Amino acid sequence: MNNTAASPMSTATSSSGRSAGKSISFAAELQSMMFSLGDARRPLHETAVLVEDVVHTQLINLLQQAAEVSQLRGARVISAEDLLFLMRKDKKKLRRLLKYMFFRDYKSKIIKGIDEDDLPEDKLSGSSNTNKRQKIAQDFLNSIDQTGELLAMFEDDEVDEVKQERMERAERQTRIMDSAQYAEFCESRQLSFSKKASKFRDWLDCGGMEIKPNVVAMEILAYLAYETVAQLVDLALLVRQDMVTKAGDPFSHAISATFIQYHSSAESAAACGGEAHSDAIQPCHIREAIRRYGHKIGPLSPFTSAHRRNGMAFLAC
Amino acid sequence: MIFLAEGMAKAALGRYWRKSPDLRAKQLLSWRRSAVIAAGERPLPCGLLPRSPLSPFLLVTRGLGAEFRVPSPALHWVPGGCGSLAWAGAEAQGTDPRAPARPLLARTPARPRLANCARGADKRPVRHARSLDLSCSSTRLGAPLFRLPALLTLGPPPMEEEQAYLELYLDQCAAQDDLAPPRSLLLSPVVPDDGYIPNTSNSETVFNSHLEEVKASGHFSSVDLSFLPDELTQENKDQSVIRSKQDIEENCETPGQQSRMLLPREQDVGLGLISGSTLLNSHSQVYPGDADPVQPSPEKPNCTPLMSITPMTPVTPVSECSGIVPQLQNIVSTVNLACKLDLKKIALHAKNAEYNPKRFAAVIMRIREPRTTALIFSSGKMVCTGAKSEEQSRLAARKYARVVQKLGFPARFLDFKIQNMVGSCDVRFPIRLEGLVLTHQQFSSYEPELFPGLIYRMVKPRIVLLIFVSGKVVLTGAKERSEIYEAFENIYPILKGFKKA
């Protein structure tokens, strides 16, 4: 199925059999998440539904590929290594994932130190938990690294531009809020797929799979789902900015998306045909973003990589 | 200088003793207050808390009466005033059989304690109080003689015991005081940070500070402070007052300072207050006492010339500081019992002990006072967690060691070390974490989907702070209390900059 061809198609194909009786929906959570990632105060429901579909499709595909890799290895569960393997091509995203894993380890370490009630249990489990994700990642990358690039990522301290941009956007967004709005914003930011682990599992229908992901793999999947949503919002904002035609400004396309979005929300209302919630991201933006993302430009584009085997470019990796 | 004629002193004492305990307490405080006002001098290092209510007075009447030339009536009786608190404390405490049992001290009961006593030469009063190795100076503080510069002509007190005390005291003074005008200042009790925390027994010190506090709160009767639970409100009050001086005191550090206390005196006293209530032994004063006994004194005069008139009035902060003091929530410490232990035997015979060798190779023991948990390993090493102050941690560790000892093992108490301290406080305004993470990227990480707080890794001092939107701040990773305070003082202006209106 070629999801990038036409997004309406994708919704049909991906959610075939599911949209009718789909009991599990993350639409509400997604709306909050999109708000925290830069969308308007009340993102559109249609947009949330579309985003959910896209994320769902991508995750299912990712799981299938990971299951294949697992089988190749002869393992019985999908583990973190398989997902890392799938992501090996995109350095930046891999680095972001690694940083996330390390942060998780670090945070558990600190919380352990603070919460004395945990002490006996913590000692019981020994130091096996500390940095376990880091160890997994390091060992695995060590084993597949041929050129040393992957291992270099551990020491790499470059600024993650995408993350930087997201931080700046959030900062700008929060600067103008008052405390009540900011409290809501913070709560939205704290939403994640990992908080609703069981719902997430059911949503992905992990029970129906032959090879199931283990705990760390589920964490990574939740993170990737979140990353996908974030990417979609980033790209949609960019698209929306492009849609705004500023008279007389030849460089309007070149200005940073985040900057424009902040300043031209009023104008985008007019440009988008005066839709009701002009601030919010429209489904059309999302579709356009996906289309552009999958559209490889260049002389060799018809012959590019295995990513397109399934016809869909993963947003998260 | 205030002097009392000998006869008047005796009369005043007589009146004093005829009063009821509460009135006596009040009288002592008023004496003290006037002494502070009038003398403007630093109280002398005080001895340990007297055991019997009467003994200090014996000392005073006989010793002081003979020696002091006091011109004005009882109100200005400096020594009495200074020691009164101690005595009042003694009174209250005298009735309390739970007074810290220090064998050495028992022999020298009448050692009135001065609030804000200059620190004796004993730098580690608390620590040694327990062990019979009370430093001479501290034990010999004895006579309730305060170092009033020209006031006191200390001749040998008539009574032998007073003589002993006096000698002890003099020795201590001599040992401790290198300063030219050793008793130049009579520090206000409220600002004990002038650094003179009696290093003798922390219970006394605590007691003193508490006395101040108690007096402030007007509940003088509840004086047996060493057994009180930490009274956070009082602590806060004191600490905020005390902390104001922190900056001043920062540089006053004793080289001989034991471990933790690099706190300015104020801190120490405040800490004494905090810990005092929970201290059952002299340990609590380690850090207060640890404030350099000697060094601060010269600086003290410069820093804080004359304290406020009423002991209980908080001193306004001299430097700009947050006025908020982080509270310690948890202290993890380790100690080596230096003998191989049979965990099964310990688990069988000790109360509140769990041992599940399949799960974990250590005995988990708990005691209720101070409320802590210990992990005891077969090698003899022990980890103690859950205490709320350094002294409590040490006390608890000692209790566990005693339990092990009573079970027949030759347990010792080696290398007690605080491994981690956790503190928390509230800046009381919402913080815009997005801004903070952007401007302090190298230090902070904020992943709200993982953890609602921002993790800030401060380089100097090396502390990790968890900052939450609500304004709560948790500080961890400290080995010393001063690191927590310093880290908070460092972060506070930054947080203020990101205050969410």
State mean pLDDT over B124-147: 43
Residue of A nearest to B498 (CA): A175
Note whether residue A36 is domain-resident. yes
- In this complex, the residue of A103, A120, A190 whose CB is nearest that of residue B375 is A120
Please name the residue that has the structure tokens 């050129």: A147
How close is the nearest chain B Cα to the Cα of A74, in Å?
A: 32
Domain limits for position A38: 26-114+129-247+279-304
Residue B38's pLDDT band (cuts 50, 70, 90): low
**What ipTM was predicted for this assembly?**
0.78
What CA–CA distance (Å, rounded) separates B491 from B396? Answer: 32
Q: What is the DSSP letter of B50?
A: P
- The more confident residue out of B60 and A101 is A101
Q: Residue B205's closest CA among B100, B78, B336, B295? A: B100
Which pLDDT value is given to residue B295? 42
What mean pLDDT, rounded, does chain B reach?
63
Q: Which residues does B168 contact at the CB level (< 8 Å), separation at least 6?
A: B47, B108, B136, B137, B139, B140, B141, B142, B143
Contacts of A159 in chain B (CB under 8 A): 441
What CA–CA distance (Å, rounded) separates B178 from B146? Answer: 16
Note whether residue A68 is domain-resident. yes
Q: Does the beta-carbon distance from A226 to B449 stay under 8 Å?
A: yes
Q: Residue B409's closest CA among B387, B386, B377, B384? A: B377
User: Is A75 near chain B, with CB under 8 Å?
Assistant: no
Residue B487's pLDDT band (cuts 50, 70, 90): very high
What CA–CA distance (Å, rounded) separates A230 from A222? Answer: 12
Q: What is the DSSP letter of A245?
A: -
Note whether residue A315 is domain-resident. no
Cα–Cα–Cα angle for B470, A197, A38, rounded to 5 degrees:
50
Q: Which residues does B303 contact at the CB level (< 8 Å), separation at least 6?
A: B194, B245, B248, B249
What CA–CA distance (Å, rounded) separates B51 from B45? Answer: 17
Please name the residue that has the structure tokens 């429901």: A45
State mean pLDDT over B363-380: 90
How close is the nearest chain B Cα to the Cα of A258, in Å?
A: 15
Which pLDDT value is given to residue A167? 87
State mean pLDDT over B414-436: 91
Note whether residue A61 is domain-resident. yes
Q: Does the beta-carbon distance from B450 to A106 stay under 8 Å?
A: no
Q: What is the DSSP letter of B61?
A: I
How many C-beta atoms lie closer than 10 Å to residue A296's C-beta?
15
Mutation target vs B (from A30, A101, A122, A124; most B CBs, 10 A cutoff): A124
Which pLDDT value is given to residue A296? 66
Cα–Cα–Cα angle for B466, B467, B470, rounded to 5 degrees:
135
How close is the nearest chain B Cα to the Cα of A99, in Å?
A: 10
Q: Which of A278-287, B176-185, B263-272, B424-433 has the highest mean pLDDT?
A: B424-433
Contacts of A179 in chain B (CB under 8 A): 430, 500-501
What CA–CA distance (Å, rounded) separates B386 from B331? Answer: 6
Which pLDDT value is given to residue A315? 66
| Residue numbers in chain A where pLDDT is lower than 70 | 1-22, 115-130, 156, 245-278, 296-317
How close is the nearest chain B Cα to the Cα of A16, in Å?
A: 30
pLDDT tens-digit series, residues B230-289: 444 444 444 444 444 444 444 444 443 443 443 444 444 434 344 434 433 444 344 443
Q: How many CB pairs under 8 A join A and B?
A: 93
What CA–CA distance (Å, rounded) separates B173 from B192? Answer: 18
Note whether residue A211 is domain-resident. yes
- In this complex, the residue of B432, B445, B501 whose CB is nearest that of residue A103 is B445
pLDDT tens-digit series, residues B99-110: 444 444 444 444
Amino acid, res. B487: A
Residue of A nearest to B374 (CA): A120
Residue of B nearest to A227 (CA): B449
Note whether residue A72 is domain-resident. yes
Q: Where are the alpha helices (DSSP H) in B199-295?
A: 202-217, 232-243, 246-249, 265-276, 286-290
How close is the nearest chain A Cα to the Cα of B439, in Å?
A: 10
Total number of domains constituting chain A: 1
Mutation target vs B (from A111, A119, A167; most B CBs, 10 A cutoff): A119
Q: Does the beta-carbon distance from A179 to B434 stay under 8 Å?
A: no
- The more confident residue out of B355 and B116 is B355
- In this complex, the residue of B420, B433, B450 whose CB is nearest that of residue A107 is B450
Q: Residue B121's closest CA among B97, B106, B139, B103? A: B139
Residue B331's pLDDT band (cuts 50, 70, 90): very high
Beta bridge partners of residue B353, listed in sequence order: B365
SS3 B328: strand
Amino acid, res. A106: Y
